[in-house]
C-alpha cells in the first residue's frame, strides 16, 4: 500500500507514520483560489494490485489555517490514523483536549464493527450467514441486525437498486480482489437468482437472518462504513469533545464546527478517474458527508473502466450518467446508504427518492461534468474547478 500524506499534525502526540511537508496543496485545482495548506491527509491509497485503485480520500478536510504555524492550541488537532481497518485509512482529528483513550475506544469500536460486518473475514457474522445460506437462519448481534435491517429496508424502498444481497455479483466481478475480471453474460445470468433480495428473511424476534438459497450472501459495503462513522462519533461525543473530524476513508463525520466557531471546509473529491484533488468545497457543522463515486474502486479492461457499484438488473456496473454523488446528512449511516442509492438511480430519480429524507442534501456530478444540487445545500457548496459547472 502506498499512502501519501501531507500536513498531519498533532500536539506532538501519537500520529501514525506520515511524511510532512509544509506548503501549498499540490492537488489544488487549476484556477482555484490559493489555500494555505491542507491540515489533514489527502491520502490516495493504492493497494498492491496495479489495476484496482482504492482511493481513500473521497472527501477531505480543508483547514482554513495552516498547521505549520501554530496560533492557538485548539487550531492544532490531535490526530491519530489507522490503516488496517475497513480496508481504508481512518483519521480521527480532535480539536479539544482529549485523553488518548478516546482514540483507543474509537478504533476498538470500528474493529468490532468490521469483525462483525465484513464480507471478506471468514469469521464475521455476515460470512456465517452466507455459510448457512440455504440451510438455516443465523442469529446476529444487535448492531449487525440493525444494519442488515436498514440495508433491507432501503433495498425494498429503492426497488432493488440498492441491493443488500448483491454479494455474489460483487464476488463474480472480483472487484475487491487482486484479480478483477469482466464475467461473461452467461455467468452473470446464472448469478442473478442468487442476488434476489426477496430471498432474504429477517426475524425481529430472534434477530436472525436467513438467506434462502445456497450461494447467497449479504454485502454491507455500501452502509457499514457509514454506520461505523456514527458509532465513532457517538464515542467521541461521549468524551465531551465538541470539535472533531472523523474521516473513515472519505466518509467524513464533522463534530461541531471549527474551534473558532466557523464551519468545517470539506473538499469534494474530483471524481474523474485518474485525476486527484477536489472540485469544490462544502461547508458543514455537525454533519456527515459521504460520497459514492466511480473512482473509489475500479479496474480497466479492453479500454473500459469498470467500477464497483453494480446494477443488479443488468449485472454490470451502474451507468446512470454519474461520476459521483455526495450526501450530507445528520446520520452517516443514512448518508452512506443514500449516496449509493442516488448514484444508482441517477439525478432525476435520485432527487425524487431523496425527497423522503428531509435532512439529506446531495451533490450529483454527472459524467458531462455538470453539478446538480438539492436546494438545501446551495449555499454550502462552492465549485473550485471551472471545468465543472452548476446545472441550471
Ligand atoms: P458505496 O461506496 O457506499 O457506494 O458502496 C459500494 C460498495 O457497495 C461496493 O464496493 C459493494 O461492496 C457494494 N455494492 C455494490 N453494488 C451495490 C448495490 N447495487 N447495492 C448495495 N451495495 C452494493
Ligand atoms: Mg454507500
pLDDT tens across 310-352, in order? 999 999 999 999 999 999 999 999 999 999 999 999 999 999 9
pLDDT at position 60 is: 61
Which residue lies with its CA nearest to atom 15 of ligand 1? 309
Q: Whose CA is nearest to atom 5 of ligand 1?
A: 222
Residues 6+ apart with CB under 8 A from 120: 87, 176
Closest to 133 measured CA to CA, from 45, 208, 52: 208
CA of residue 11 to ligand 2 center, whole Å? 33
List residues bridging with 254 in a β-sheet. Answer: 245
Distance CA 164, CA 195 (A): 8
Residue 163 Cβ < 6 Å to ligand 1: yes
Answer whether residue 195 shows pLDDT above 50.
yes
- Which ligand 1 atom is at minimum distance from the Cα of 162? 20
Select the more confidently predicted residue: 52 or 252.
252
Please work out whether the CB of residue 155 comes within 6 Å of at least one atom of ligand 1.
Answer: no
> Residue 22: pLDDT band by 50, 70, 90 thresholds?
very low
pLDDT-derived band at 24, boundaries 50, 70, 90: very low
**Domain residue extents for the chain:** 2-116+223-390, 120-211
Given ligand 1 and candidates 226, 288, 308, which is best to mutate, with the most ligand atoms within 8 Å of its CB? 308
pLDDT for residue 263 is more than 50: yes
- Ligand number nearest to the C-alpha of 296: 1
Q: Which ligand is nearest to the CA of 313?
A: 1
Give residue 61's pLDDT.
65
Note the pTM of the prediction, 2 decimals. Answer: 0.86
pLDDT-based confidence at 76, cuts 50/70/90? confident
Strand order in the sheet with 251-255: 78-85, 88-94, 244-248, 251-255, 288-293, 322-329, 361-366, 370-373, 389-390
Q: Give the number of the ligand closest to the Cα of residue 88.
A: 1
Cell of 212: 434462502
Average pLDDT, stretch 167-177? 96
**Which residue lies with its CA nearest to atom 1 of ligand 1?**
222
Query: Residues 132-154, buried b or exposed e (16+ Cβ, 10 A)?
Result: bbeeebbebeebbbebbbbbbeb
334 CB within 6 A, ligand 1: no
Pocket lining: 130 vs ligand 1, CB cutoff 6 Å = no
Is the Cβ atom of 124 under 6 angstroms away from ligand 1?
no
pLDDT bin (cut points 50, 70, 90) of residue 41 is very low
Structure confidence by residue, pLDDT tens digits, 283-316: 999 999 999 999 999 999 999 999 999 999 999 9
Mean pLDDT across 173-202: 96
Ligand 1, atom nearest to 336 Cα: 3
Contact criterion met (CB below 8 Å) for 67 and 35: no
Torsion angle defined by CA atoms of residues 307, 39, 237 and 151, in that order, rounded to the nearest 10 degrees? 0
* pLDDT band at residue 59 using 50, 70 and 90 as cut-offs: low
Q: How confident is the model at residue 11 (pLDDT cuts 50, 70, 90)?
A: very low
In this structure, which ligand is nearest to the CA of 332?
Answer: 2
Q: Given the CA of residue 311, which atom of ligand 1 is nearest to it?
A: 19
For residue 368, how far is its CA from the centre of ligand 2 (angstroms)? Answer: 22
Question: Tens of pLDDT along 98-154?
Answer: 889 999 999 999 999 999 999 999 999 999 999 999 999 999 999 999 999 999 999
How do 264-269 and 370-373 pair as beta strands? unpaired
Cα–Cα distance for residue pair 167/224, rounded to 1 Å: 14
pLDDT at 75: 75
The CATH number fitting domain 2-116+223-390, selected from 3.30.70.1250, 3.40.50.150, 3.10.520.10, 3.40.30.10:
3.10.520.10
C-beta 96 within 6 A of ligand 1 = no
Question: Which pLDDT belongs to residue 4?
Answer: 22
Our answer on whether the CB atom of 170 is closer than 6 Å to any ligand 1 atom is yes
Q: Which of 148, 177, 309, 346 to mutate to test the pocket of ligand 1 (most atoms within 8 A of CB)?
A: 309
Average pLDDT over every residue of 38-45 = 24
Query: What's residue 74's pLDDT?
Result: 63
Cell readout for 56 is 481513500
Is 70 exceeded by the pLDDT of residue 158?
yes
Q: Is 335 in the pocket of ligand 1 (CB under 6 A)?
A: no
Angle at which helices 101-117 and 224-238 cross, to 10°: 150
> Per CATH, which fold does 120-211 belong to?
T-fold (1.10.3980)
Mean pLDDT of 9-16: 30
Mean pLDDT for the chain overall: 84
The answer to whether 183 and 175 have CB atoms below 8 angstroms apart is no
Domains 2-116+223-390 and 120-211 share a fold: no
336 C-beta closer than 6 A to ligand 1? yes
Residue 20 has pLDDT above 70, yes or no: no
In whole angstroms, give the CA distance from residue 280 to residue 375. 17
**Confidence category of residue 250, pLDDT binned at 50, 70, 90:** confident
Task: Tell me, in angstroms, the distance from the centre of ligand 2 to residue 289's CA.
Answer: 11
Question: From CA 192, how far away is CA 166, in angstroms rounded?
Answer: 9
Amino acid at each position: 500500500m502506498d499512502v501519501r500524506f501531507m500536513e498531519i499534525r498533532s500536539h506532538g502526540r501519537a500520529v501514525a507514520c506520515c511524511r510532512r511537508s509544509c506548503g501549498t496543496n499540490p492537488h489544488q485545482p487549476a484556477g482555484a483560489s490559493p489555500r494555505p495548506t491542507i491540515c489533514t491527509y489527502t491520502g490516495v491509497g493504492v493497494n498492491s494490485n496495479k489495476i484496482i485503485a482504492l482511493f481513500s480520500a473521497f472527501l477531505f478536510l480543508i483547514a482554513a489555517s495552516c498547521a505549520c504555524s501554530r496560533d492557538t492550541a485548539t487550531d492544532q488537532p490531535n490526530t491519530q490514523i489507522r490503516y488496517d481497518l475497513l480496508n481504508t485509512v481512518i483519521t480521527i482529528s480532535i480539536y479539544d483536549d482529549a485523553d488518548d483513550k478516546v482514540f483507543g475506544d474509537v478504533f476498538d469500536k470500528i474493529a468490532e464493527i468490521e469483525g462483525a460486518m465484513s464480507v471478506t473475514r471468514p469469521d464475521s457474522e455476515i460470512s456465517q450467514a452466507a455459510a448457512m445460506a440455504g440451510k438455516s437462519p443465523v442469529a446476529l448481534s444487535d448492531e449487525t441486525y440493525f444494519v442488515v435491517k436498514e440495508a433491507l429496508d432501503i433495498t425494498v424502498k429503492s426497488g432493488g437498486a440498492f441491493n443488500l444481497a448483491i454479494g455474489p455479483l460483487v464476488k463474480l466481478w472480483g472487484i475487491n480482489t487482486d484479480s478483477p475480471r469482466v464475467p461473461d453474460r452467461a455467468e452473470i445470468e446464472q448469478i442473478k437468482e442468487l442476488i434476489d433480495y426477496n430471498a432474504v428473511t429477517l426475524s425481529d424476534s430472534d434477530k436472525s437472518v436467513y438467506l434462502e438459497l445456497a450461494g447467497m450472501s449479504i454485502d454491507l459495503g455500501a452502509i457499514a462504513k457509514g454506520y461505523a462513522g456514527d458509532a465513532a462519533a457517538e464515542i467521541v461525543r461521549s468524551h465531551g469533545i465538541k470539535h472533531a473530524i472523523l474521516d473513515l476513508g472519505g466518509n467524513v463525520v464533522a463534530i461541531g464546527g471549527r474551534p473558532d466557531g466557523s464551519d468545517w471546509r470539506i473538499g469534494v473529491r474530483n471524481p474523474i478517474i485518474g485525476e486527484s484533488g477536489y472540485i469544490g468545497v462544502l461547508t458543514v457543522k455537525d454533519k456527515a458527508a459521504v460520497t459514492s463515486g466511480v473512482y473509489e474502486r475500479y479496474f480497466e479492461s479492453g479500454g473500459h473502466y469498470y467500477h464497483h457499484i453494480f446494477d443488479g438488473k443488468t449485472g454490470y456496473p451502474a451507468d446512470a450518467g454519474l461520476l459521483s454523488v455526495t450526501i450530507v446528512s445528520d446520520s452517516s449511516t443514512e448518508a452512506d446508504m443514500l449516496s449509493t442509492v442516488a448514484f444508482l438511480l441517477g439525478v432525476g430519480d435520485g432527487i425524487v427518492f431523496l425527497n423522503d429524507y428531509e435532512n439529506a442534501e446531495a451533490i450529483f456530478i454527472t459524467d458531462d461534468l455538470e453539478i446538480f444540487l438539492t436546494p438545501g445545500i446551495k449555499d454550502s457548496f462552492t465549485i473550485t474547478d471551472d471545468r465543472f459547472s452548476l446545472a441550471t
